[in-house]
Structure 1
Amino acid sequence: MIQLKTLLVDDEYSAVEGLRIRLEAFPEINVIGSAASVDEAIALLNKVDVDLIFLDIEMPSKSGFELIKHFQPESCPAVIFVTAFHQHAVQAFEVRALDYLLKPVKLARLAEAIERVVTTEKLHRKTALIEAHQSLVNNDPQEVGVTGNSEYKFEAENLVIQDAKNPIQIIPFKDILWIDAAGDYMCVHTPAETHVMRARLKELEKNTLPEGFLRIHKSTIVNLSHIKQLNPLRNSEYMAVLQSGKTLKVSRTYSKNLKSLFKQ
């Protein structure tokens, strides 16, 4: 059975506790924490990975939509908005929310939303990565290599990826532009290819990437040698522009460290 690590974000304590009690009826849901604000949620998300967020919209200081901006689009958890206001529905689905529940939430609607998330997660685990990168093959002249249940290791100046069904992939560290998380997988981007391997960002960090690689986001590591410039955003965040023209968001948690390196 799929069990989704779930975060509840709402500034109303009674709403959080009421939803937590209702979610106890669903074995697919594992509530790992709650937050009363966007900043509190971001602090928690910097420490743990989650699969699903039940998210209020109108909260003091920052709205629920501000939390969505914390994530790289390809690594955003599933989001179900839970709000007392119907007028935000269009915007919610524009940011790819899986559902939009109005308070007070009826149990039948909650069950429907969870079923949608579980179905989406199953499809994601089975096919989404393969289809996404196959789409790149069809629409981009660059070749994209996909590696499934792979093993990897660091060898001299290379990252080596291998599994039983594909040729061994030897990727020079100097050619890696950035690495980002996609659930249980990692996407290793080079100028010519994107390699997908089964691993987590924390695992790569434990293996110690060579000097010159830096984490700039909860879900992203970048090769510093490929950064062309840093463009400031709001709230002490930046957009890193690579030599290739690709842009990557630098979250506030990691921006100070990155900025200090460019000042040296």
Structure 2
Amino acid sequence: MKIQIDLDPSHEELEIIIRTKEMTEEVQHILKILEGGPIKQIVGIADQQFYLLDFKEIYWFYSGGRKVFAQTTKGNIEVKYRLYELETSLQREGFVRFSKSTLANIKHVKSFEMSFSGSMCAHFSNGMKEYVSRKYVPLIKEALNIGG
């Protein structure tokens, strides 16, 4: 997927154009996000039960085996969104990309530890830790409003 942004003061309003060869599931998901606005409620599935998850109870989302899961105060729960959908919609809720397969709630991070390799280790309020790949360290620094 290729994304272009054209910033020009002469534009009167926001216009979104999707160019594609055919209507795919990915395009339908993007349309659903654009039409529906931000995600307001996350529904998770675990042990054949549905859970309504509050953003405050989610430590991070991660992908594995073509599925997306939420690490929550209730444990690991499968969600029916893709990481890029969650990233786009939950940015205002404090979720930041840690790696290609992880999107974390920065509000649950107690501390960050820099490594010699340029990556970071995030220590969460639940005692767990998750690593931030070098590629995403600048995004974390921006989210925390720290330079360098």
Same fold (TM over 0.5): yes
What CA distance in whole angstroms lies between the structure 1 residues aligned with 2:114 and 2:105?
19
Residue pair 1:179, 1:222 contacting (<8 A) in 2 also: yes
Asked if 1:209 is matched to 2:90, the reply is yes
Letter in 2 for 1:242: F
| Counterparts of residues 76-91 of structure 1 (less than 5 Å) | none
Asked if 1:172 is matched to 2:48, the reply is no
Residue pair 1:177, 1:226 contacting (<8 A) in 2 also: yes
Asked if 1:231 is matched to 2:113, the reply is yes
Deviation readout 1:122-150 (Å, 9 max, x if unpaired): xxxxxxxxxxxxxxxxxxxxxxxxxxxxx
Distance 1:179-1:261 versus aligned 2 partners, 3 A rule: same
Query: TM-score scaled to structure 1, two decimals?
Result: 0.37
Query: TM-score scaled to structure 2, two decimals?
Result: 0.63
- The answer for the alignment partner of 1:146 in structure 2 is none
What CA distance in whole angstroms lies between the structure 2 residues aligned with 1:174 and 1:213?
11
Residue pair 1:181, 1:219 contacting (<8 A) in 2 also: yes
Higher helix share: 1
- Count the aligned residue pairs: 110
Point out the structure with max Rg over C-alpha. Answer: 1
* Structure 1: gaps spanning 5 or more residues: 1-152
Residue pair 1:184, 1:198 contacting (<8 A) in 2 also: no
| Offset at residue 188 of structure 1 (A) | 0.4
- The answer for the alignment partner of 2:135 in structure 1 is 253
Distance 1:218-1:155 versus aligned 2 partners, 3 A rule: closer
Higher relative contact order (CA 8 A, sep 6+): 2
Higher strand share: 2
1:244 to 119, 126, 133: 126
* Structure 2: gaps spanning 5 or more residues: 1-35
Using the aligned pairs only, state the percent identity. 27
Residue pair 2:87, 2:95 contacting (<8 A) in 1 also: no
CA-atom RMSD in angstroms: 2.8
Runs of 4+ aligned structure 1 residues displaced above 4 Å come to: none
Deviation readout 1:222-245 (Å, 9 max, x if unpaired): 001000111011232110111111
What CA distance in whole angstroms lies between the structure 1 residues aligned with 2:131 and 2:118?
11
